[in-house]
Amino acid sequence: MAHEVHDVAVKLAREAGELIVTRRAGHIEVASTKSSDVDVVTAVDKESEEFLYTRLRELRPGDGFLGEEGQVEESTTGVTWVVDPIDGTVNFLYNIPHYAVSIAAVTGDPSPVSWQVEAGAVFNPATGELFHAARGEGAFLGERRLQIGPPPPMNLALLATGFAYSTAMRKEQVRILSQLIGEVRDIRRMGTASLDFAAVAAGRVDVYFERTLSPWDHAAGELLVTEAGGIITGIRDLAQGREGIFAGHPTLVTQLKARISEVGGDTLLQDVPGWGLE
């Protein structure tokens, strides 16, 4: 089953990517905002999600759907597609060639706490790079199999992260990073979570940590990491998800998670002063 849904994920990621590239050649502007004024949606986000929803109804009738832009359908087959039609919308808006279509097929309840990710594809239509994985069959960039290598010491590790849309949470994240910046090789904030996970799997960064992600931000990406030999975990003893998520080699994740805790970076979101994204 993993192989079957993998092929669908790859096919539709490419198809949606072609649509996005065509639309990016024209004029792009903000259609609406969501959680805050900087959490933007373009008409192309909505068009891409509607396209994917329609195609999945054709190819996989009965499967569920959970999309960033609000399209939701319960599954009658046990499979749900968790979709970010354009991950990195701000990059897309500014024509920065670092955004992606992220598609994952999960079984069980479509929640990070309980799902099993069967297959996923993360496609950057601006560069043509396709990252994909099926459970138990490895992670790949195109035809090249990905494998996370031996971890560097923390002071030589390249850390990837991202910022929340909440002003209060952004300030908290800067506080944490200000304490880490002298303890790692450097920090990268590239603006597209799915491609951050892909970068971990491909060895382009060593370890990744972010908070306030939604299921569609990491469903496909977390499978890329685990199939490349890394681990995914949450803050404290929580499952990966909105409260926080780490990705990378087990040694680095363990070290970073401990350090984040030492500097108070694992405060629950509800206890962060000024937190009000929801």
Q: Which contiguous run of DSSP H or E holds residue 162?
A: none
Please report, as a single letter, which amino acid is at residue 17. Answer: G
- Choose the catalytic residue: 49, 63, 69, 217: 217
Distances (CA, A) of 86 to 61, 152, 193, 203: 23, 32, 11, 23
- Choose the catalytic residue: 84, 172, 196, 227: 84
Q: Is the dihedral of CA 38, 42, 48, 53 positive or negative?
A: positive
Cα angle at 119 between 116 and 121, to 5 degrees? 130
Q: Which two tokens stand for residue 140?
A: 């790949």
- Choose the catalytic residue: 89, 107, 212, 226: 89
* 86 in catalytic set: yes
Angle of helix 2-24 relative to helix 43-59, nearest 10 degrees, comes to 150
* 237 in catalytic set: no
Residue 87's DSSP bridge partners are: 100
Q: Which two tokens stand for residue 235?
A: 């803050």
* 217 in catalytic set: yes
Report the alpha-carbon distance of residue 213 to residue 194 in Å, rounded.
10
* 7 in catalytic set: no
- Choose the catalytic residue: 45, 49, 68, 118: 68
* 109 in catalytic set: no
* 22 in catalytic set: no
Q: Which of 259, 226, 217, 239 has the alpha carbon at shortest distance from 104?
A: 217
Sorted by sequence, the CB contacts under 8 Å of residue 237 that are 6+ apart come out as none
- Choose the catalytic residue: 20, 45, 86, 107: 86
Q: Which two tokens stand for residue 231?
A: 């681990």
Catalytic positions: 68, 84, 86-87, 89, 217
